[in-house]
Every structure is written in C-alpha cells, then in structure tokens.
Amino acid sequence: MSGPLQVKEKKGGIMYQNVTLPFDAAHPLQVAKQGTFERWVEVNGKRRRYLVHIPHGCREAAAGIFILPPDGWTADDLLNKTHWRWLAEAEPERSRPILFFLEPQNGIWHTEEAYGCADGDVAYVEAIFHELSDRHWFNVHESSLYLYGCEEGAAIAQMSAMWNPAVYAGLCTIDAEVSDDYVQKAAQDACVNLDGFEDTTHRCGVLKSDVPLPVWMISDRTQSPEALRFWKHSICADHCVQLSGDTVAYRRTAAVPHPHNNEIAAYEVWESSLPGCAQQAGDSMLHRIWNGFLSRHRRWMGDAGGNLRMYADPLCDRHVEYHIEKIDGWLREWYTYVPECVRQQPGKPVPLVFACHGYTCNGAIYMEHSGWNRVAEENGFIVVYPTAGYGQMCTENAYCSSDNLPLPAWNIFHKDTQPEEYSFFRYLIDRTAADYPVDRTRIFATGHSLGSLMVQMLGLAMPECFAAIAPCSGILFSGLEQEPLSLPEVAARRDTLLPVWMFGGSEEAFLVPDRPVDGNRTAYSLEAWLRLNQMEPVSDWADGWHLHEDRWDDLIYRKNGMPLVGFTRVQDMPHATTEEMSRRIWNEFFSHFSRINGELVYRQNEV
C-alpha cells in the first residue's frame, strides 16, 4: 500500500490506521480510502458513532456487512476482539467486504423499542444505511449489503431487517429475541422501500412480510419463533431439509415470480441450534456465517422488492476469461464469456456483444446483474464485459456527485486523467476476433446507466463497427460536463444507419423520463437517433405504444420495415437492468441484425 498513512487518535488513546491514496496509473483499480475510519450519523438530533473498515486491496462496488454486537460491546471491541477484520482481509481482493461496526448507545441496545421509533436503534441502523448513498468514503454495491447480530445486537438486526427488508441480501443472527408485537406490526405494514424506489402510495401492494430475504437464525440459548415464522412466510417456504445435524433449511418449491430474474435456490431460511456459539460475539462462527451463508446471496435491483439470486464467482466459471493488460499506456480490465458451444466449434463464426456497466461498478458486477451469460449460453454468442477506468462524475443527482471518490466512470469527454475509450473498444474487437471466431458482421453493444451513454457514444463515433445497440436506463443525459452531441466525433460521424433500442424504468424518471414528451430528454434522445437514421420527426409521442406482457410499454419506429429506433418503458422498475431485459434485447432485436459490407441487414424471422 502506498500513500500517506494517517493515524487518528480519539479519547481513550484508541488509534485507527487508515490511508487515503492518490490516483496511481500503475494501480488504477484501487479504492482511494483503505483502513479503519471513525464515522458519525445523526439520529433525530442525536449523534451516533460507528466504525468502518475498508480492507487493503478492496475493489469498488464491494459487499458491506453491518455488524451489531451484544450489550456492553463497542465498535472498537468488534474491531479488536473478533476476527471480522482478519476475515475481510483474507478474502480474494475482488471479494473483500467493507465492515461496519455498530455499537449500542451507552452500552445498551433498546430491544423493546416501539415499531417505527424515530430516534431508536433501528433508526440508527437506517441512518448508516442512508450513508451508503454518499460515495465520499466507501462504495458498497446495493446487491450485497448484509446484517449480522449477536444476542441483543441480533434483536436489533432482526428488527432493522423487518423495518426495511428489500435493501438487504442476507441476515444472520445468534440468539435473537424480538417481541411478538414488533414482528406482527412489521408483518402488517406496507413496504415503502422496494429496492431502488419508494412506493409511497402502496400501489404495488407489497407488505414487509412479503419481501423474501435469505435468513439464518442461530440459537445458542434462545430463539424467536415469531421472527422465524415471519421470514419463512417471506419466502413462501413449503419444504424443509436437514442440512446437517444442527441445521434445518426451509425452502420454496413453488415457482418464483420472474424466474429469469430470480433464482429459487436463493429463497431459503436456515435454523440452527449451536450451544456455545454466542461466545465472543459469535467469533467462532464468522467464517461459516460469511462464506457459508451471507456471501452466497445477492439482491439485485430490478423488479419491485429486488431480485434474489445466488452468487457465483465469475473467475470460478470455466467459460469466463479474465484480462488485465496495458493498453495505450493504461491498465485495462475486461471479462470475456465464451459459451461451451463456441469452444466446441472453434471454426464457426459467432456474434459478439459488449455489455458495459454503470458508474461505480465493473465488468464482473454487470456480468452478474444483467444475466447476459445465460442468454449467450443458450444462443451461442460471446460477451465481453469491460471495466471503465477510475474517474469523477462532475454532475449532481441521486447517484453522482463531484465529491465522490474516484470510481469507475467511462471517459465520455476525453479527459487526460483517464484512458481513451474508442481505441480500447477497437482493441477489444480485434483482440476477441483474434482469439475466437467472431462474426464481424454481428457485433452489438448494450449497457446500463453511464454504460448506456458509453454505448451510444460508440454508436455515434464508430457506427460502422456495430449492427445494433441497446442502451438500458440510459438516454443522452442532460446536466453533464458537455452536451454529448457536441463532441467532435459526432460531427465527424459517418452517414450510417444504426438500430437503437432504449429502455427506461417507470421508477427512475429523475434521470430517464419514462415517456417522451416534447422538450424532455427522452424525446430529445429519440429525436437525435431518428435524425441520424434519416427518419421523419415524430408529430405525437402518444401514438404508437404497444403493451408487451402487461409490463413493457414499447414505442418502436420503423424504416423500410426495420425497427430502427425504439424506447421501452418498464413498469415498476427502478434504475436497474434484468435478465428479462437482456433476453428481449437479444431475441427481439440483436439477433435480427447484421452489417454486411457496411450495409445494414434485417432478418425479421431470425432468432
């Protein structure tokens, strides 16, 4: 670790070692802040303290664990008297979690606090959760936030998860005693936070007890039967299996909603009886809790309440190749997914899809979230997931701030402090085609959020390289450092037809207006692509909508029978992507296009 070491001393002589690293081109994929930091939140006018430990070598978009100890323990006790810090540092760099050590005020958790108490311990946990939206100190990915608590801390962890269930990917507690009254009130309460958007009018009709959450309830001396029933109900458990002599798993066998987006194996609640496990805040159980349960689950934004899936390390998949190489003087990272059928038929040319992540993420995150690997395996094409270089977003909205840490951000505006993107993508095309039988007439690009803007810039700067593009949760955004259409590569663009299908969720209108209206940015973006594809302007944006499967509102503009420009509004979707979306993009759009000798070819009946 290089950079200035900072040692902070607080009352009582306790010191925390941490470091703030300057950007280093030789190590461009390291987070700026590492070590242990003391932080404070305000809870209804009261200041509450916690510690955050960011492991050495931790990557962007890390997992996060809220750790709540028994009464009488402090955050410093968790840091120094347990093996949590050792466990985090021992993980592979790509998997090292950020640890949040919470503590009871004056040494006592208020386990009997009323449901909805505005200044209690659940509100304290909520305040720290809301800190995660500020990426000034750390960057926890929303798919992998977990809760762990022991004894009195376990009760608060349970109560916090019941209060806001859709933001957590897993919960584990030892000796949790939660009052029946609290559980019953939570079970009957409407869930407002549905993972990425708030349903303040309860339009979706989701109760907190309806939001599935992977939970492991361990008893040393005590357990809460009502809490166990709450979580079994949340996953619609209809089956149990003995995992070991001390552990039973309750699972669901009925089909899950949106089965491409959710994985039934993630719908599980474990119950264990392990005498003595609560000693030293459950320290002897940490490896089993983290590696055996919590880290195996993810909750991805997508459908209302999020989508539960099991985690699979991409580098353990034999079909995934990891690359990190110096290109144009910069270290660049990407992942390549090669289906089994491509490996078995090395002489058969196959399509290539680029899938570009959003701001703060990386190629591995987008690989998991988007589900493109499964679509590729079924349809026989290669997917490349590049990672952007670290940079700043000089814009302000719910996801971006100029005060954020340097995090992966596509270099749309050609900053000297970041690598150039067009030469990188041209290299990736040539490199992948040299390694595998790429059909250069069928190269496509899709991406989410800032990745969607990167995809559009590829379509503006190098349209001859692609047969179609699909920006998700993305338009030609406003409020950026420059107007994207004012960049020189747009003025120099070749006169080339390029099919474009955009997607936006009904619950991300703050960034992507979910219906085009004269003067808004969605209409502006569609007008730009209609103009670039030499199509007539739209006289009435209300005309031409078609509802697909009761959720997808499609607006498609055709030229000579080809669907060249489209926008789809997805009901009840926040700023997210899903495997269902990836499947639609391939089956209904990409699979029909090719570019042969520079000319666009559309085959309506191809799949």
Which CATH number characterizes residue 20's domain? 3.40.50.1820
Integer Cα distance of 521 and 471 in angstroms: 14
Q: Are 439 and 606 in contact (CB under 8 A)?
A: no
pLDDT value at position 1? 39
pTM confidence score: 0.95
Same domain, 84 and 136: yes
Q: 555-572: buried (b, 16+ CB within 10 Å) or exposed (e) per residue?
A: bbbebeebbbbbbbbbeb
Same domain, 283 and 341: no
Which residues are bridge partners to 226 per DSSP?
Answer: none
Integer Cα distance of 271 and 303 in angstroms: 28
Residue 287 CB neighbour total at 10 angstroms: 13
Pick the last residue of a domain from 310, 342, 371. 310
Pick the last residue of a domain from 310, 332, 355. 310
pLDDT tens readout for residues 15-29 = 899 988 887 777 777
pLDDT value at position 402? 66
Integer Cα distance of 128 and 125 in angstroms: 5
* Dihedrals phi, psi of 518, to nearest 5 degrees: -50, 125
Which two structure tokens, joined as six digits, stand for 273? 């009886």
Same domain, 374 and 318: yes
Same domain, 81 and 18: yes
Same domain, 104 and 21: yes
Same domain, 306 and 449: no
Same domain, 368 and 282: no
User: Which SS3 state, helix, strand or coil, does residue 15 take?
Assistant: strand
Q: How many DSSP H helices and E strands does the chain contain?
A: 16, 28
Q: Does 607 map to a domain?
A: no
Q: In terms of Cα–Cα distance, which of 387, 305, 517, 393 is closest to 61?
A: 387
- Pairing label, strands 382-387, 330-337: antiparallel
pLDDT value at position 397? 58
- Concatenate the DSSP letters of all residues of 174-225 into one string: ES----HHHHHHHHHSBP-B-SSSB-TT-TT--BGGGS---EEEEESS---H
For residue 499, the 8-state DSSP code is: -
Q: In terms of Cα–Cα distance, which of 294, 288, 280 is closest to 82?
A: 280
The domain total for the chain is: 2
Instruction: Write down the residue that tokens 């539960």 correspond to.
Output: 308
Integer Cα distance of 481 and 411 in angstroms: 11
Q: Does 207 map to a domain?
A: yes
- Concatenate the DSSP letters of all residues of 91-154 into one string: S-GGGPPEEEE---GGG---TTPPTT-TTSHHHHHHHHHHHTT--SS--EEEEEEEEEEETHHH
Could you say which residues of the chain have pLDDT below 70? 1-13, 394-402, 606-607
Same domain, 150 and 178: yes
Same domain, 424 and 497: yes
Q: How many CA atoms lie within 13 A of 116 on its CB side?
A: 9
For residue 84, the 8-state DSSP code is: H
Same domain, 259 and 330: no
Pick the last residue of a domain from 276, 294, 310. 310
Which residues are bridge partners to 300 per DSSP?
Answer: 307
Domain that holds residue 497: 314-602
Same domain, 283 and 336: no
Same domain, 301 and 349: no
Q: Is 549 left (phi over 0), alpha (psi -120 to 50) or beta?
A: left
